[in-house]
Structure 1
């Protein structure tokens, strides 16, 4: 057998093997979870946040609470404050409980409208505003 013929024969066999494998894979049923009505797709990480008040005096304590979904229980979440164009982490953080809920105490000293959000587990909450007077 000459070399060209052997290479052509090997190519045909390889193509047949690949085609056979693909056909076998496409004929195989999908995983049982794909057909199950109760199977859940992984949830995208998300956080909610709500302040206990919309307005406080400087350095008056208030609470931010919310829930997390798609984030492992015990994940650390941190308050972030918009300062200029940057989000700056404040020294206020807590871990989520086994149901994904969290609540933390916050004090702000920058007078005016403060934009805050919660970040953790690869997610950030929608922005909440608290006015410091």
Structure 2
């Protein structure tokens, strides 16, 4: 190999080593790495469960409604709703969801007969349940 060719090769190798290229001086050029797209997963829809501590109670006698929430931030207040005719009416009975998603609220009902109830927060509602008031 002639002297000029050797000096050129040594210069290229030296320059690549100084720039951190190590084996890159001898490697073929590559395309820049682009990460594979990550599939976006939609958050699970918010949900509520609810259960009354009794199935029947005397008028204005206190009972509890307990349940759990999923996808609802801790501290968010859930409200008891009662079906009156064809409409759901929010009662003045609310409680915050705790850090594990659980809640418990004390309730007194005065409308005698079968009361259809549910828990609600924004547009998320629990399945309907009933309590009979004697």
TM-score normalised over the length of structure 1? 0.71
Match of 1:30 in 2: 37
Larger Rg: 2
Partner of 2:43, secondary structure, is: coil
Coordinate RMSD, CA, aligned: 1.8
Match of 1:52 in 2: 53
Partner of 1:119, secondary structure, is: strand
Structure 1 segments of 4 or more deviating over 6 A? Answer: none
Match of 1:93 in 2: 94
Give the count of matched residue pairs. 101
User: Unmatched 5+ residue regions in structure 1?
Assistant: 1-26
Q: Do the aligned partners of 1:49 and 1:64 also contact (CA within 8 Å) in 2?
A: yes
User: Unmatched 5+ residue regions in structure 2?
Assistant: 1-33
More helix by share: 1
1:21-56 deviation per Cα after TM superposition (whole angstroms, max 9, x unaligned): xxxxxx96212xx3xxxx974121000000000000
TM-score normalised over the length of structure 2? 0.71
Partner of 1:42, secondary structure, is: coil
